Amino acid sequence: MTIRPIIRYPDRRLAMPARPVTAFDDGLRELAADLLDTMRAAPGIGITAPHIGVPLRLVVLELDAREGPLTYVNPIIEWTSPEMILHREGSVSMPGVNDEVQRHARVRISYQDLDGNVRSEETDGLRAVCHQHEIDQLDGMFWIQRLSRLKRERLVKKFEKMARNA
């Protein structure tokens, strides 16, 4: 298990759709373990393989220490509720900035586990927000694209200023 370098916005790789995982082997398990270590070190509550420059559809979440980490391979959103919620979001690839994003209140996803078994899950609240946020990233949509142009430009300027002063 290794902490890997996280690519930073505006790296082009964050805008590229990730490829489906086809090999459910020790390499995939090692990548998932590295993602977990990298996410914890960032710190964050969710991370995708594209965040570390690996263009595969793999997500690791850790929203609750008691429940532990959750791994999703090839996740897709199957259903979204008509109800919407606002939730403050950020990214390990753009640390130090966040804003409220409108998301569906509930979602149902299908995915595979690390052994390739097909599963589905219906969630609400923070987990539903995280599923949408991370699946967007797998599809090449960075979270700030969900904001108005004015808010997005403000956040980018703030991030650039923070990076210059670091």
Tens of pLDDT, residues 85-128: 999 999 999 999 999 999 999 999 999 999 999 999 999 999 99
Please give the average per-residue pLDDT across 6-25, as a whole number: 97
Q: How far apart are CA 50 and CA 124, in angstroms?
A: 24
- Residues annotated catalytic, as ranges: 134
Q: How far apart are CA 116 and CA 111, in angstroms?
A: 9
What is the pTM (predicted TM-score) of this model? Answer: 0.96
Please give the average per-residue pLDDT across 24-38, as a whole number: 98
Q: How far is CA 95 from the centre of its chain?
A: 13
